[in-house]
């Protein structure tokens, strides 16, 4: 007899798409298995035993049956209903939508474990739900760190070209961060000192500093993070234009 192709894992529901009459395909970023796609049978019926357990941004304990192209969810229990906790808060909901989409796009291969991305996502959603910091700050911190995990880290305290330590007033998206006067390529954006300080605070998790940042610095930093993200993610993120303007 071969192995029974049933496995257990925990994960965050990234996205759901309808399948046939009453089923859904659920995309989940799991702790151990990486990103998986699985069928949830009958989940769209109001009497489904899955209830709201497989809604986007829900952190669930799962049992799955491994299939050839798609797995099948056989059991799901909620660990944290992050999505439901912010469904009534449009600013936080759209920020979570960008996180989920980015997590999917940064885990390029299915079934390739990515514990760091999983932990970042759970941490990002938990922080968003806690309502202690502005949603856009939480999102930008998540994006900066997930870019680092994906291998596209933004260089903020040394020249992205020559490595000379320093905080410089110019940032080049193609070069990968701030650039010193000698290395500065044509077309490098200028970055204000408060915006650069905010980016550094967000990347390092210095929330006291980030929370104290003035709004113009926040708008500037968000713009730079978005431009940097669009450069590294092909076709960009669909949820990004729907973020609430701050």
By CB under 5 A, tell whether 162 contacts Zn ion: yes
- Residue number, 103 or 159, with CB nearest to Zn ion: 159
Q: How far is the CB of 243 from another protein (least distance, A)?
A: 8
Count of residues for the chain? 246
Q: How far is the CB of 18 from another protein (least distance, A)?
A: 6
The Cα 143–Cα 225 span in angstroms is 7
Q: What is the DSSP letter of 147?
A: H
By CB under 8 A, tell whether 163 contacts another protein: no
Reduced to 3 states (helix: H, G, I; strand: E, B; else coil), residue 75 is: strand
By CB under 8 A, tell whether 55 contacts another protein: yes
71 binds, among Zn ion, another protein, none (CB under 5 to 8 A by kind): none
Q: CB of 14 within 8 A of CB of 29?
A: yes
Q: How far is the CB of 55 from another protein (least distance, A)?
A: 5
The Cα 134–Cα 141 span in angstroms is 11
Taking each helix axis as running N to C, give the angle between helix 135-149 and helix 115-130, from 0 to 180 degrees, rounded to the nearest 10: 170
Site size with Zn ion, rule: CB under 5 A: 6
- Residue number, 175 or 239, with CB nearest to another protein: 239
Q: The tokens 């609430």 sit on which residue?
A: 244
The Cα 7–Cα 4 span in angstroms is 9
By CB under 8 A, tell whether 84 contacts another protein: yes
The binder of another protein chosen from 81, 123, 153, 169 (CB under 8 A): 81
The Cα 70–Cα 88 span in angstroms is 32
Nearest CA among 144, 161, 163 for reference residue 204:
144
The Cα 22–Cα 62 span in angstroms is 20
By CB under 5 A, tell whether 105 contacts Zn ion: no
> x-or-dash pattern for Zn ion, window 117-156, by CB under 5 A?
----------------------------------------
By CB under 8 A, tell whether 113 contacts another protein: no
By CB under 8 A, tell whether 124 contacts another protein: no
97 binds, among another protein, Zn ion, none (CB under 5 to 8 A by kind): another protein
The Cα 157–Cα 178 span in angstroms is 7
Q: Residue 3, by phi and psi: left (phi above 0), alpha (psi -120 to 50) or beta?
A: beta
Binding site for Zn ion (CB under 5 A): 159, 161-162, 164, 180, 183
Binding site for another protein (CB under 8 A): 15, 18-21, 46-47, 49-53, 55-58, 77-78, 81, 83-84, 87-90, 93-94, 97-98, 100-101, 238-239, 241-243
């Amino acid at each position: 007899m071969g192995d029974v192709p049933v496995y257990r894992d925990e994960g965050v529901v990234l996205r759901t798409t309808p399948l046939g009459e009453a089923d859904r395909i659920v995309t989940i970023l799991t702790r151990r298995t990486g990103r998986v796609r699985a069928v949830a049978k009958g989940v769209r019926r109001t009497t489904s035993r899955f209830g709201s357990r497989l809604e986007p941004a829900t952190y669930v304990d799962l049992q799955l049956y491994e299939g050839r192209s798609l797995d099948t969810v056989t059991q799901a229990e909620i660990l944290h209903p992050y999505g439901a906790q912010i469904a009534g808060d449009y600013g936080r909901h759209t920020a979570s939508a960008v996180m989920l989409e980015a997590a999917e796009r940064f885990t390029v291969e299915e079934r390739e474990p990515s514990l760091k991305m999983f932990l970042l996502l759970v941490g990002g959603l938990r922080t968003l739900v806690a309502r202690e910091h502005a949603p856009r700050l939480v999102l930008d911190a998540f994006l900066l760190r997930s870019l680092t995990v994906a291998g596209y880290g933004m260089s903020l305290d040394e020249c992205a070209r020559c490595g000379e330590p320093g905080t410089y007033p110019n940032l080049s998206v193609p070069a990968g961060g701030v650039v010193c006067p000698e290395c500065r390529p044509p077309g490098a954006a200028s970055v204000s000192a408060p915006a650069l300080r905010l980016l550094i605070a967000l990347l390092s998790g210095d929330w006291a500093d980030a929370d104290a940042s003035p709004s113009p610095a926040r708008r500037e930093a968000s713009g730079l993070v978005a431009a940097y993200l669009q450069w590294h993610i092909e076709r960009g993120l669909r949820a990004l234009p729907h973020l609430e303007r701050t």
